[in-house]
A = this chain, B = another copy of it.
Amino acid sequence: MADRGAADAMASGESLLFLTDEQLRRGIEAMFFACRGFTADPDRILRNHAYGRAHHRAVHFINRAPGTTVNNLLDILGVTKQSLNRVLRTLVDDGLVESHVGTRDRRERHLFLTGAGMALERELSDAQRNRMRAAYRNAGPEAVAGFRTVLEQMMDLDLRRHYQAAPEQTP
């Protein structure tokens, strides 16, 4: 009775109202461990390249929205420009990212991955995709749908306005 489990929760709609603190705690811990497991592979790869998570995040979102501006990126990542700039500078110096002056607004810099940048992004996201795919496969289709639904609810409460960016000019 202390733990009614997920199966019971699925059986009757009202059971959600009876979620015990213990059940919620399990969810919280699962998130904790999942977050860790989720960054484990990239972290290992990044160490080989002498980069950190900050670089991963930048590379990911530049790949996601090529041509995004620095301000866009700041907004998405939620860090200070000094913090981002430190990371961005090394990526540009190392030839993984290119920064192009905007045509419409010449103050803006539009960020793109170079070939090398795309290669790193691919390496990192392949690792995460594989992990994600494995989890999805073991969990089954219905579970995946539910997973995404809950995750989106958890995001909603904070952000998601950033969830699309406006690119410009392919170089």
Contacts and interface: CB of A to CB of B under 8 A. Distances in A.
A142 B146 contact: yes
A124 to B, nearest CB: 10
Contacts of A129: 21, 24-25, 28
A89 interface: no
In the complex, the count of this chain's copies comes to 2
A24 B136 CA distance: 9
Nearest to A9: B141
Interface stretch (A31-39, A96-104, A107-115): A31-39
A166 interface: no
Interface in A1-52: 6-7, 9-10, 12-13, 15-16, 19, 21, 24-38, 40
Contact residues of A: prevailing secondary structure: helix
Interface in A129-156: 129, 131-156
B149 A6 contact: yes
A30 B144 contact: no
A60 B31 CA distance: 13
A86 interface: no
A36 B158 contact: yes
B28 A128 contact: yes
Contact of A146 (B32, B125, B145, B156): B145
A136 B149 CA distance: 9
Question: Interface centre among A24, A36, A57, A154, by most B CB within 10 Å?
Answer: A154
A106 interface: no
Interface of A: 6-7, 9-10, 12-13, 15-16, 19, 21, 24-38, 40, 57, 60, 64, 78, 125, 128-129, 131-160
5 cross-chain pairs, A with B, having the tightest CB-CB distances, nearest first: A146-B146, A143-B146, A147-B150, A135-B153, A6-B145
